[in-house]
Amino acid sequence: MITKTKFKAGAVQFDIKNGDVRGNLSVALGHLGHLADQGACLGVCPEFFLTGFDNENMGRLMPAVKESLQSLTEFARTRSMAVAGTLPEQRGGQIFNTLYFIDRDGEIRARYRKLHLFPLTGEDLHYARGDEMVTADTSLGRVGIMICYDLRFPELARRLFLDGARLFVLSAQWPLARVAHWQALIRARAIENQAWFVCSNRAGTDPDGLVFPGTSMIVDPNGSVLVMGDDKPGIIMADIDMDLIDLVRQTIPVGQDRRGDVYG
């Protein structure tokens, strides 16, 4: 597998309609298509971007989700663009919040089941917790995967860094009330781990009136925000230079200087 070191990456943000899998798929593919038209090699979608948190009905939505996953893999293959985003995954009578990383050849390189379920919205009452961290070797380099609330746990990002992650993808439904945390934590995780972050967040309002601000972000290994979305549906895109990671890590060698002998 040939790994690209310079490429365009983007994130999609839109208002997700609870339970409308095919409608959400159509919107997502439209935005992803715009990214592909502009030469993007990666498009990241929000958390549960096909279903929303339609918690009570996830079981009956699974056939449509599986069908839509096939459409996404076909899109990735035909447009030669990696696609990432979270979908409900049913296994052994449980449903997980799972981020799929579909590479540019249409192959699913990673499935990451969300470790940290957000208690304020009752996510932990409806979904099963994952039990492993995930990095994946892809055509765009070694990718570390996180979902929404995971962003508040620096231990996870650091373990992914130690496992060789150079590009992090993150899907979220992060609310407006805590948008300042979203912006600060993404920059902090990028600075700490000297890696690229491509982060997608929902834009819109859910049926309970919870407002989501968009503000999808692409942040470089120095913590600089290259592009950030507004609160409207649409796409963001930036040029990624993976060689910048090596320069930053050589200049301030936190990987070399960390005291794992003291704090693990």
pLDDT at position 120 is 92
> Which residue ranges of the chain lie beneath pLDDT 50?
none
- 12 to 53, 63, 112, 124: CA distances (angstroms): 18, 24, 19, 26
List strands edge to edge, sheet with 225-228.
Answer: 135-138, 141-147, 167-172, 196-201, 217-219, 225-228
Pairing of strands 94-102, 108-113: antiparallel
Provide Rg for the chain, Cα atoms: 17
Q: Mean pLDDT of all residues in the chain?
A: 97
pTM, to two decimals = 0.97
| Chain-centroid distance, C-alpha 35 | 16
- What residues act catalytically? 47, 114, 148
**What amino acid is encoded at 210 in this protein?**
L
pLDDT at position 69 is 98
Give 40-50 pLDDT, tens digit per residue: 999 999 999 99
pLDDT at position 264 is 82
Percent of the chain with pLDDT over 70: 100
Domains of the chain, each with CATH number or no CATH: 7-252 (3.60.110.10)
| Chain-centroid distance, C-alpha 218 | 11
Give 111-166 pLDDT, tens digit per residue: 999 999 999 999 999 999 999 999 999 999 999 999 999 999 999 999 999 999 99
Q: Decide: 65 and 50 in contact? Cβ < 8 Å.
A: yes
The tokens describing 212, both together, are: 């989501």
